[in-house]
Amino acid sequence: MNKTIALQDLGSKDFKDTWDYQEELFKGILDTKIKNRREDAGLETNNYFLFVEHPHVYTLGKSGDISNLLLDEKQLTEKGATFYKINRGGDITYHGPGQIVGYPILDLDNFFTDIHKYLRFLEEMIILTLAEYGLKAVRSPGETGVWLDVGTPFARKICAMGVRASRWVTMHGFALNVNANLGYFDNIIPCGIRGKAVTSLNVELGKKEVDEAEVKTKLLKHFKTLFEAEFTSIVNV
């Protein structure tokens, strides 16, 4: 089993271009798995972890409801935002500047074949990272992602998640609000959940800006521990 993960920080990159790149890496892993199955080739499969920040964009999961987008095409253009319906789970979410987006593209055969455990580990990575900033983040029963003050009138989401998996290969991932412009969330019903707010790490800490590089370092530390993985080939592209 190959537990090494190639880490790439893509910087600021268009959502569709990043989606295409994810698909390319995802397909490469699947092709290797198929070759191994057909030819008993014994080839190792690769694993990847992409960090990225997207320009303003709204994405709708395959089971999502388009009515949760509260803007028409003209209003999207006025907001400088784009919209895509994509092949992950979950409903609608927003990506934009000030948000750390992580896309682990893993062959779970290298780690464990349990998609629910995978999602819980991603959540735990976020929870442990936020704890380092003094925040008590938790899961909300039946709602994937990471929240604050669950079970109170002040419940608010700080990290959204949505993944796709095929033959135990994953893509898409998580979006952690660090220095996000929360006004863009007013244009959707986030994740299709009414009556619950969205927040960002800088807001919770009462800071103008949080060091995003520091947050990434903490995320990777906890990911590495949870998945018993090693990061290699740190490349900016």
Q: What are the percentages of helix, strand and coil residues in the chain, rounded to 5?
A: 35, 30, 30
> In which element (H, E) is residue 145 found?
strand 143-148
Q: Would you state the structure tokens that stand for residue 103, as one six-digit string? A: 């896309």
CA distances from 47 to 104, 108, 124, 125, 129 (A): 8, 9, 20, 18, 22
- Residues taking part in catalysis: 191
Rounded Cα gap, residues 114 and 104, in angstroms = 15
CA 109 to the chain's CA centroid: 20
pLDDT of residue 216: 97
- 166: three-class secondary structure by DSSP: strand
Per-residue pLDDT of the chain in tens (237 residues, 90 and over written 9): 899 999 999 999 999 999 999 999 999 999 999 999 899 888 999 999 999 999 999 999 888 888 989 999 999 999 999 999 988 877 888 999 999 999 999 999 999 999 999 999 999 999 999 999 999 999 998 888 999 999 999 999 999 999 999 999 999 999 999 999 999 999 988 655 666 789 999 999 999 999 999 999 999 999 999 999 999 976 554
Q: Which domain holds residue 73?
A: 4-236
Whether residue 7 contacts residue 232, with contact meaning beta carbons closer than 8 Å, is answered with yes
Considering only CA atoms, give the Rg of the chain. 18
The torsion region of residue 34 among left (phi > 0), alpha (psi -120 to 50) and beta comes to alpha
Whether residue 161 contacts residue 145, with contact meaning beta carbons closer than 8 Å, is answered with yes
Question: How many alpha carbons fall within 13 Å on the CB side of residue 200?
Answer: 25
The dihedral built from the CA positions of residue 25, 63, 192 and 15, taken in this order, carries a sign that is positive
pLDDT of residue 235: 56
pLDDT of residue 194: 65
The closest of 224, 54, 52, 201 to 125, measured between CA atoms, is: 224
Residues 6+ apart with CB under 8 A from 217: none
The CATH number assigned to the domain holding 179 equals 3.30.930.10
What total of structural domains would you count in the chain?
A: 1
